[in-house]
Amino acid sequence: MIRSTAGGTNGAGRRGALDYWRDEQALHGHRLHTLELSGALSDIARFSWIFERPLPRLHRLRIGFFGPLDNDPDQSQLPVPAPLALQLPVDLPLQALDLTNATLPWSSNLFAGLRELRMDFKSCEAVVDISADELLGVFDASPQLESLSLIQVRPRIPVRNGQPQYAPTRIAQLPNLASLKLDNSPEYASYTLSHMNIPAIDSLEIRFHVVPSELSRSLRFLLPNHRLPNRLFSNPPEFEIRITDDDGSLNLMYATIGGFKLHFDFGFDEEEAIRDAISTCVPPVIPPFAAILKLDNLKLSEEEWREFLRSHPEVHSIKFANSSVSKSLWDALSPTGTDAVPLCPKLESVLLFCGPETSSSLRGCLLNRKNAGFRLRCLEVEGLDDKLVEEFCLLVEELQVIDAPDDSFNPFSVRPILMNELGFHALTALTPNRNTIAAQGLIATST
Amino acid sequence: MKSTLVQTENATLKVAENEVTAVLIHLKKLLRIKNQLCSPLLRLPTETIVRILSYIVEAVERPRIWQPILSTYHQIHTTMCTAEELWWKVNCMRAKVAMFTFMRSEGNPQVITACFDP
């Protein structure tokens, strides 16, 4: 019945399945709507014949080429020297096109009518560039585009009198584009952005490699300009910054403002230089109307925190990932004798991991804010021992103790505080009228 | 008023009897299937599923199993083989299954995924 000798899961077997389709079947392809093909550059001959037949319903096409395996113990994949120029029939009714290390002529009809386009040349040694006119041609051909990813597609920035000209010659209208992902240096990403009007955008993600000394300049290129609509910034506006470590060194930073995401890759620069660059460049770019802050590994001095909090009076919620929070923040939030109103007067809730090194400064901060009439409404805290639970529940309206350390914020890991877990002093401080244990047993409250 | 109540009670009892009868029929069927699955040739549900799938993809031509179960396999096999719509997606990662799917779809699948990674 099946006469092919192909078998198993090796490459020859997989090629055998397609060969079987070509050789043994009355190949029609008239029902084919999705085709995903990937392999080495030399594999193109193994499937190019598919496009010799009519494919009248082909809506989704993904073609990707990958470099050969290295001989190292990890068998990592080597880059592709140059992308493969595809020759595809121009009458395919494509709606989604995904190319990795493969190109089409920029003027190809296949770009017309697309709703999703992704082009990825990250693992390609050669630079894939596009002129402004070609870029506009692609956008003009696909006015219905809803999702666009351009990964290492470099626009050619014109130079006049030795100076790069970043101003666009024309702006294309992409009224339905909701998701845009750019992976390129800030200049190229910004130049690409400047050529499109995207009123429906919900998610804008930009990734790039940066050295610490260039961070400030990069941010100036990338911050959403006045043409980007307010819908990128959710209401209440939320700002998140995560600085993560890979192999023990901080090298990735994720900054999120509503639907706008920036991914910085610092490579192998020194940690101190990265920290300095972040603490200098990032706080000033956080929108002054930010109301929710999600912070991880952002370490500033007390004075830097004061300066930042002074310029962000709308902050009502601060959430920290599981890394410990520097003492300097609590010292900054703690009102001093001269402050009539403490910084962040609207601060209502804080979520954090409370290590022993920060508990005393946090306690002092909460006590001072309470005495000044700015008692915290809700404190969600992880890593609190029983003694601290007793103390903290007197300083805030609601205390939620989060059990089990986790790498992420997990609201479902809230552990109930049971009555018998509260010490004698805490219990006697509660009175039935003014202070209650919430009905669910989740929250210990006091006023 | 009293006769109305009696009529209502009778109707309720009738409905309940019908439901019990239906449940009993289902239970008997389930018991029969359970007995079949307890056959020494087919002890575990997983084994049953594997055998059915093997039979469907014709990896096993004449499985040595209890005749009623073979008959059930055969019915499932016939149904699936004649349902062209079932064979719409081909993943060439599993060459043999992919070729079988090509064949069942009469060379006319809707989705093809082929990865030639080394």
pLDDT above 60 for A440:
no
Give A401→chain B minimum CA distance, Å. Answer: 44
Out of A18-32, A130-144, A412-426, B39-53, give the one with best mean pLDDT: A130-144
Handedness of CA A209, A212, A214, A220 (dihedral sign): positive
- Partners of residue B95 in chain A, C-beta under 8 Å: 4, 6-9, 13-14, 16-17
A343-399 pLDDT tens trace = 888 999 988 876 666 778 888 888 888 888 888 899 888 777 778 888 888 888 888
Contacts of B113 in chain A (CB under 8 A): 36
Distance of alpha carbon A229 from alpha carbon A194, whole angstroms: 13
pLDDT of residue A57 exceeding 90, the answer is: yes
Q: What is the mean pLDDT of residues A436-440?
A: 32
Contact indicator for A276, A294 with CB cutoff of 8 Å? no
More confident residue, A38 or A8: A38
Q: pLDDT per residue over A87-101, tens digit each?
A: 899 999 999 999 999
Distance from CA of B64 to the nearest CA of A (A): 22
Residues of chain B positioned with their CB less than 8 A from the CB of A21? 90, 99, 102, 107, 112
Look at residue A119 in the predicted model and tell me its pLDDT: 96
* Mean per-residue pLDDT, A283-305: 84
B95 with A16: Cβ contact below 8 A: yes
Give pLDDT, residue A402. Answer: 75
Please name the amino acid found at residue A34: T
Radius of gyration of chain A measured on its C-alpha atoms = 28
- pTM of the predicted structure, to 2 decimals: 0.73
Q: What is the mean pLDDT of chain A?
A: 79
Asked whether the beta carbons of residue A15 and residue B58 sit closer than 8 angstroms, the reply is no
Residues 60-119 (A) with a CB less than 8 A from some CB of B? 66, 68-69
Both tokens of A380, joined, read 């969600």
Q: Are B112 and A7 within 8 A, CB to CB?
A: no
Closest Cβ opposite residue A31 in set B96, B110, B115 = B110
CB count within 10 Å of CB A6 equals 20
Is A401 strand, coil or helix? strand
Kindly write down the DSSP assignment for every residue of A405-441, as one continuous string.
--SS--GGGEEPPPGGGS-HHHHHH--TTT--B-TTS
Q: How far is the C-alpha of A4 from the C-alpha of B103, rounded, in Å?
A: 12
Element (H, E) at A96: strand A96-100
**Residue B53: per-residue pLDDT:** 67
